[in-house]
């Protein structure tokens, strides 16, 4: 296919290697080495997107990662859709399918462009005014008909895939002596120096090829060789150093504390086809002893009306497309500039056959070698000139140029063109430096923000710190590399600074212009864009200052300038200059906004790495899990555990299954897998004293072979966990915790043991996973277990409630607890986890004779609620004391100290009006209250009604024959018999306050 804008020779593309691709369904071809941008430009395609807010036609602004307009979605099939990629970074491969974004139904005919006609309502602060403005703005009619559809259409750029991402992503943690970010001339020289010093180096660059600006310099010579040859030789030298790792296609996107820099490496997106055996991207978390930032500089656009039309691009981008990709971005160019570097662009383009219609220089008297060269080449230069506007529907066709003096313009003239190249000068890329919390300095001489004092072990080199000219940049990079190598410590050969002989560099320096170019008239409808991606104009920023915003951080949020995915790479300085001028303050006094990670967007896959699906979070299963699954259990997640929720029989729903499980347990027996309970072995000569200090109960008098229910308090006196503590030996206790609380409780114990009571000789060991726990509950519990245990006397007299025995079950070592969380006769059989399933099945077999059931966590909840037993975290919320839940009696009165003791005497915890645990019976015994529902003292609930408490647990109870609930209510224990109300959308539900013990209030069944 004919690519009319491809030069016959030149560039780094491989002219023998055609790459076919499609864009918006139309087929094109490009060359190996092209980006999607350069390939499209070789066919003269400039219209590649619609803008975010006004849906204006947009083309390419830049040639690199700073591109705000030319975003694409690349679809590789099977859910492999990546939106919002910058076409200027997308490497072309054969068969690529790319689409433009943010338009409907097509790029050329976009309904959303009507937004441009409504631009007055989309001005600065539109979102704030709409969401928070006067009510008529938020009225349902306007909202539903106008604003919401507009916002929905405007919100978001590309469309994410609606299938799961089938690719794999990798993650790597590495340490190195020196990390060099950016492999342009400064970065390569830095890596060369540090590499020669023998340090472990990582050199990374966002580009497909290392080299940065050197990749677009056909006339430059370094050390007597063409730049390309020097680059190739130097990269070979670096590759030969085993201590240097060079990473192309690797974006350093975040600089974090203690010199941790995050890199995103793209491994396969540039390759045709899909290879699922290699990761698509890799996240590197690099901990560097020293960092060299060589991140370069970004050219600034000029802000004039119509500066966003396709065919208007940054001047250097035109040069990069020509010199690196062999593509002319147009055939007749106007170059608008405030800086010498655009002259170099004009000269290169002219040499390639592009007509330079005019150079419009904002400066009255531009001087310097490049200006002289341009004059010598016969280029027409309009000095003291500005661009007043552009014309052209899908692409620029004309620039309106004028002379400017002060705020007045004269001599308007229209210059036909199909390319408008602009340069406001160069902005050092200090994003990563700012992320590292370095202090940004403003250099008044050059009017640039540059890195000031570093606060981490790093230094900046080259144009990111305001240097220009290859000789200076190379030498600076080399010196920075040596400095970093020296600072990294250890032995290093003494290397001196190095000068690089450079020829053919058309030197230019700092300077340029930031802000909005002067225009005639009030420019009320003129759209001079500052932030191209978020469609923020100069007028928007001025409006924000008129509406009273003075802080640049507020102006940024109000106008959304700099808040798009490009993070304002091309816009921040212009926005700042416009705001400063409007506020009549110097630029450094207004200051920059904070630069944030990531520098360029990073895929979710890269962050997630391997942490997805089964690998997202560990899943804990008990030794009895597979048995439960085989017996039809439905599972629920409790912290990381999978717990059997209930065991439905054919035809049963959850309610029927739970009802049966509860009934059979109370009538005969039920088996419950309690293996998830946290278990901590507390051992040592001071174990009892340690528990005395950790729990409000007294443990000293607890005999060996006995256990006791313990409430664990935090230092503030509030219940944090509960469980049973059994004494196995004078110096050994078996402590249980709630399922989710085990790590927290162990941490709490370790904290006090290590830091408050270090004098105590105690060892703490987590044994949660060591023991399988089988609860056998119900009047037949003993009958079921008896045949399996022959070395423990389980009679009621020999083994009363709250006794522990060591013995064997089915020949397996066992800790047998006689405990009950159901109110029935109950045992908990602890066996080594590996025997859990076998012992469970043995007990299950015995249980068949009694028609015993396996019950799940739902039945467990109902059974304990019928008895008024609390679940910490459900019936308590971190503000409940033992007395609040009716367990004040277990707090020892005579202990010198325990955690929480002092707090329990605070007036707030002892005063009147505390919420107390009570039972609640709705008048209508069929109503099961909503857990979490509020409780008030009146049926009608005007706004401001005081809530007395809330429902904490609520179930339908088979054995009670009605619905029951637990609740916490102010002064609840003094309200027995009172009727309170639970206001619900369908009306208030009256309910009576009762004792929280609904079943067997005397507790006789425990002693069976």
Binders in 341-400 for other proteins, by CB under 8 A: none
Closest CB 987 distance from other proteins, rounded Å: 41
Closest CB 459 distance from other proteins, rounded Å: 12
Instruction: Give the binding-site size for other proteins (rule: CB under 8 A).
Output: 31
Closest CB 147 distance from other proteins, rounded Å: 41
Distance CA 27, CA 257 (A): 47
Closest CB 457 distance from other proteins, rounded Å: 5
Tally DSSP H helices, then E strands, for the chain: 27, 50
Are residues 70 and 87 in contact, defined by beta-carbon separation less than 8 angstroms? yes
Which residue's CB is nearer to other proteins, number 715 or number 877? Answer: 715
Return the closest-CA partner of residue 87 out of 107, 102, 68. 68
Q: Which stretch binds other proteins (CB under 8 A): 382-390, 755-763, 812-820, 975-983?
A: 755-763
Q: What is the largest CA-CA distance in the chain?
A: 115
Distance CA 794, CA 798 (A): 6
Closest CB 437 distance from other proteins, rounded Å: 7
Among 287, 498, 612, 732, binds other proteins (CB under 8 A): 287
Are residues 646 and 679 in contact, defined by beta-carbon separation less than 8 angstroms? no
Which residue's CB is nearer to other proteins, number 405 or number 910? Answer: 910
Which residue's CB is nearer to other proteins, number 700 or number 754? Answer: 754
Q: Does 756 bind other proteins (CB under 8 A)?
A: yes
Closest CB 260 distance from other proteins, rounded Å: 5
Which string of x and - marks every residue 425-454 that binds other proteins (by CB under 8 A)?
------------x-x-------------xx
Q: Which stretch binds other proteins (CB under 8 A): 66-74, 274-282, 385-393, 748-756?
A: 748-756
Which residue's CB is nearer to other proteins, number 752 or number 850? Answer: 752
Binders in 158-217 for other proteins, by CB under 8 A: 173
Q: Does 258 bind other proteins (CB under 8 A)?
A: yes
Distance CA 677, CA 864 (A): 16
Return the closest-CA partner of residue 575 out of 300, 296, 298, 390. 300
Are residues 262 and 285 in contact, defined by beta-carbon separation less than 8 angstroms? yes
Among 9, 277, 747, 894, binds other proteins (CB under 8 A): 747
Which residue's CB is nearer to other proteins, number 364 or number 756? Answer: 756
What is the signed CA dihedral for 346, 347, 351, 355, rounded to 10 degrees?
Answer: 30
CA distances (Å), origin 605, targets 82, 169, 610 = 11, 6, 9
Among 9, 27, 614, 755, binds other proteins (CB under 8 A): 755
Q: Does 607 bind other proteins (CB under 8 A)?
A: no
Peptide bond into 598 cis (omega under 30): yes
- Run of H or E residues at 475: helix 470-487
Are residues 860 and 821 in contact, defined by beta-carbon separation less than 8 angstroms? yes
Are residues 238 and 192 in contact, defined by beta-carbon separation less than 8 angstroms? yes
Binders in 697-726 for other proteins, by CB under 8 A: 715-716
Which DSSP string corresponds to 814-880?
Answer: EEEE---SSSSSEEEEEEEGGGHHHHHHHHHHHHHTTT-EE--HHHHHHHHHHTT---TTTT--SS-
Which residue's CB is nearer to other proteins, number 901 or number 997? Answer: 901
Q: Which stretch binds other proteins (CB under 8 A): 369-377, 571-579, 634-642, 904-912?
A: 904-912
Which residue's CB is nearer to other proteins, number 667 or number 715? Answer: 715
Q: Does 260 bind other proteins (CB under 8 A)?
A: yes
Please state whether beta strands 440-443 and 448-451 pair in parallel, antiparallel, or not at all (unpaired).
Answer: antiparallel
Which residue's CB is nearer to other proteins, number 202 or number 519? Answer: 202
The residues pairing with 815 across neighbouring beta strands, listed in sequence order, are 806, 830
Q: Does 583 bind other proteins (CB under 8 A)?
A: no
Which residue's CB is nearer to other proteins, number 455 or number 796? Answer: 455
Among 903, 934, 945, 988, binds other proteins (CB under 8 A): 903
Which residue's CB is nearer to other proteins, number 802 or number 904? Answer: 904
Provide the 3-class DSSP secondary structure of residue 987. strand
Q: Does 906 bind other proteins (CB under 8 A)?
A: yes
Are residues 896 and 687 in contact, defined by beta-carbon separation less than 8 angstroms? no
Among 144, 160, 232, 455, binds other proteins (CB under 8 A): 455
**Residue for token pair 């009172």:** 978
Which residue's CB is nearer to other proteins, number 210 or number 753? Answer: 753
Among 172, 631, 902, 938, binds other proteins (CB under 8 A): 902
Q: Does 901 bind other proteins (CB under 8 A)?
A: yes
Q: Does 285 bind other proteins (CB under 8 A)?
A: yes
Q: Does 750 bind other proteins (CB under 8 A)?
A: yes
Closest CB 880 distance from other proteins, rounded Å: 16
Q: Long-range contacts made by residues 547-555, C-beta under 8 angstroms, separation at least 24?
A: 547/124, 547/125, 550/583, 552/576, 552/579, 552/590, 552/591, 552/592, 552/593, 553/593, 553/594, 555/579
Q: Does 256 bind other proteins (CB under 8 A)?
A: yes
Closest CB 743 distance from other proteins, rounded Å: 9
Are residues 361 and 382 in contact, defined by beta-carbon separation less than 8 angstroms? yes
- Run of H or E residues at 150: helix 148-154
Closest CB 731 distance from other proteins, rounded Å: 21
Distance CA 974, CA 436 (A): 60
Q: Does 751 bind other proteins (CB under 8 A)?
A: yes
Closest CB 881 distance from other proteins, rounded Å: 14
Per-residue tokens: 69: 């307009």
Q: In the chain, what is the straight-line distance between the N-terminal and C-terminal CA atoms, in Å? A: 92
Q: Does 879 bind other proteins (CB under 8 A)?
A: no
Closest CB 255 distance from other proteins, rounded Å: 11
Q: Which stretch binds other proteins (CB under 8 A): 242-250, 269-277, 899-907, 983-991?
A: 899-907
Distance CA 784, CA 843 (A): 7
Residue 26 main-chain phi, psi, to 5 deg: -100, 140
**Which spans of this chain sit near other proteins (rule: CB under 8 A)?**
173, 256-260, 285, 287, 437, 439, 453-457, 715-716, 747, 750-751, 754-756, 758, 897, 901-903, 905-907
């Amino acid at each position: 296919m004919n690519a009319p804008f491809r030069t016959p020779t030149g560039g780094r593309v491989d002219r023998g290697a055609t790459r076919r691709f499609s864009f918006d369904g139309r087929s094109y071809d490009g060359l190996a080495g092209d980006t999607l941008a350069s390939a499209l430009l070789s066919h003269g395609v400039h219209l590649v997107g619609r803008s975010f807010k006004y849906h204006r036609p947009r083309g390419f602004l830049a040639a690199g990662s700073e591109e705000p307009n030319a975003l694409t979605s690349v679809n590789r099939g099977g859910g492999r859709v990546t939106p919002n990629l910058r076409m200027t970074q997308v490497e072309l491969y054969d068969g690529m399918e790319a689409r433009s974004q943010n338009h409907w139904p097509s790029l050329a005919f976009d309904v959303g462009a009507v937004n441009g006609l409504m631009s007055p309502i989309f001005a600065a602060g539109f979102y704030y005014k709409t969401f928070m403005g006067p009510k008529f703005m938020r009225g349902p009619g306007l909202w539903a008909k106008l604003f919401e559809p507009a916002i929905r259409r405007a919100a978001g750029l590309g469309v994410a895939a609606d299938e799961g991402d089938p690719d794999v992503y990798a993650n790597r943690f590495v340490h190195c002596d020196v990390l060099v970010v950016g492999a342009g001339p400064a970065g390569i020289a830095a890596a060369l120096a540090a590499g020669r010093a023998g340090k472990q180096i990582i050199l990374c660059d966002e580009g497909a090829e290392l080299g940065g600006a050197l990749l677009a310099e056909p006339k430059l010579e370094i050390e007597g060789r063409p730049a390309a040859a020097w680059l190739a030789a130097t990269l070979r030298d670096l590759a030969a150093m085993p201590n240097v790792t060079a990473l192309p296609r690797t974006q350093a996107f975040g600089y974090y504390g203690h010199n941790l820099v995050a890199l995103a490496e793209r491994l396969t997106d540039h390759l045709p086809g899909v290879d699922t055996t290699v990761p698509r991207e890799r996240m590197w978390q690099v901990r560097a002893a020293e960092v060299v930032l060589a991140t370069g500089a970004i050219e600034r656009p000029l802000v004039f009306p119509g500066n966003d039309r396709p065919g208007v691009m940054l001047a250097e981008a035109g040069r990069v497309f020509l010199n690196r990709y062999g593509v002319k971005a147009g055939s007749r160019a106007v170059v608008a500039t405030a800086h010498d570097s655009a002259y170099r662009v004009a000269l290169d383009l002219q040499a390639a056959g592009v007509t330079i219609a005019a150079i419009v220089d904002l400066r009255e008297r531009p001087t310097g070698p490049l200006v002289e060269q341009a004059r010598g080449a016969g280029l027409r230069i309009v000095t003291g000139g500005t661009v007043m506007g552009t014309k052209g529907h899908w692409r620029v066709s004309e620039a309106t140029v004028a002379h400017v003096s002060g705020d007045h313009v004269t001599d308007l003239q229209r210059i036909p063109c199909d390319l408008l190249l602009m340069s406001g000068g160069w902005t050092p890329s200090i994003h990563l430096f700012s992320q590292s919390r370095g202090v940004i300095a403003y250099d008044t001489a050059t009017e640039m923000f540059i890195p000031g004092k570093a606060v981490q072990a790093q230094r900046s080199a080259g144009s990111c710190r305001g240097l220009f000219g290859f000789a200076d940049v190379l030498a600076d990079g080399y010196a920075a590399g040596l400095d970093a190598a020296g600072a990294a410590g250890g032995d290093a050969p003494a290397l001196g600074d190095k000068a690089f002989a450079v020829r053919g560099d058309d030197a230019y320096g700092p300077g340029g212009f930031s802000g909005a170019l002067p225009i005639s008239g009030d420019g009320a409808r003129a759209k001079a864009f500052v932030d191209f991606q978020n469609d923020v104009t100069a007028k928007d920023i001025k409006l924000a200052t008129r509406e009273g915003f003075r802080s640049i951080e507020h102006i940024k949020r109000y106008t959304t300038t700099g808040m798009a995915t490009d993070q304002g790479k091309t816009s921040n300085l212009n926005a700042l200059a416009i705001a400063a001028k409007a506020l009549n303050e110097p630029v450094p006094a207004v200051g920059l906004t904070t630069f944030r990670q990531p520098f360029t967007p990073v895929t979710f896959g890269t962050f997630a790495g391997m942490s997805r699906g089964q690998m997202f979070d560990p899943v804990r299963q008990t030794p009895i899990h597979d048995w439960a699954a085989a017996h039809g259990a439905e599972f629920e997640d409790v912290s990381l555990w999978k717990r059997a929720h209930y065991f439905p029989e054919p035809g049963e729903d959850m309610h029927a299954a739970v009802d049966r499980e509860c009934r059979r347990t109370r009538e005969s027996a039920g088996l419950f897998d309690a293996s998830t309970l946290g278990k901590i072995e507390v051992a040592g000569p001071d174990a009892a004293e340690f528990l005395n200090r950790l729990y409000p109960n007294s443990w000293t008098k607890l005999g060996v072979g006995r256990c006791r229910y313990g409430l664990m308090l935090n230092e503030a006196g509030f219940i944090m966990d509960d469980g049973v503590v059994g004494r196995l030996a004078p110096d050994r206790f078996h402590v249980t915790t709630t399922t989710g609380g085990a790590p927290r409780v162990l941490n709490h114990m370790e904290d006090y043991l290590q830091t408050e009571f270090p004098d105590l000789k105690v060892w703490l060991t987590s044994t949660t996973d060591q023991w399988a726990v089988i609860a056998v509950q119900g009047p037949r519990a003993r009958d079921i277990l008896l045949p399996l245990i022959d070395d423990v006397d389980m009679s009621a007299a020999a083994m009363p409630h709250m006794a522990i025995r060591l013995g064997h079950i089915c020949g397996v070592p066992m800790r047998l607890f006689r405990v009950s969380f159901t109110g029935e006769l109950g045992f908990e059989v602890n066996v080594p986890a590996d025997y859990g399933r076998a012992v469970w099945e043995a007990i299950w077999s015995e249980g068949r004779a009694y028609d015993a059931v396996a019950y799940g966590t739902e039945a467990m909840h109902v059974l304990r609620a019928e008895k008024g037993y609390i679940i910490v975290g459900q019936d308590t919320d971190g503000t409940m004391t033992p007395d609040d839940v009716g367990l004040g009696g277990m707090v020892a009165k005579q202990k010198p100290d325990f955690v929480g003791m002092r707090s329990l005497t605070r007036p707030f915890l002892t005063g009147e009006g505390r919420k107390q645990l009570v039972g609640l019976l709705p008048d209508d015994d069929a109503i099961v209250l909503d857990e979490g529902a509020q409780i008030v003292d009146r049926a009608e609930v005007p706004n401001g009604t005081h809530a007395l408490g809330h429902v904490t647990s609520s179930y339908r109870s088979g054995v009670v024959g009605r619905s029951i609930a637990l609740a916490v209510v102010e002064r609840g224990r003094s309200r027995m018999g009172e009727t309170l109300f639970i206001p619900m959308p369908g009306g208030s539900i009256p309910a009576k306050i009762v004792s929280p013990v609904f079943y067997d209030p005397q507790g006789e069944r425990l002693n069976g």
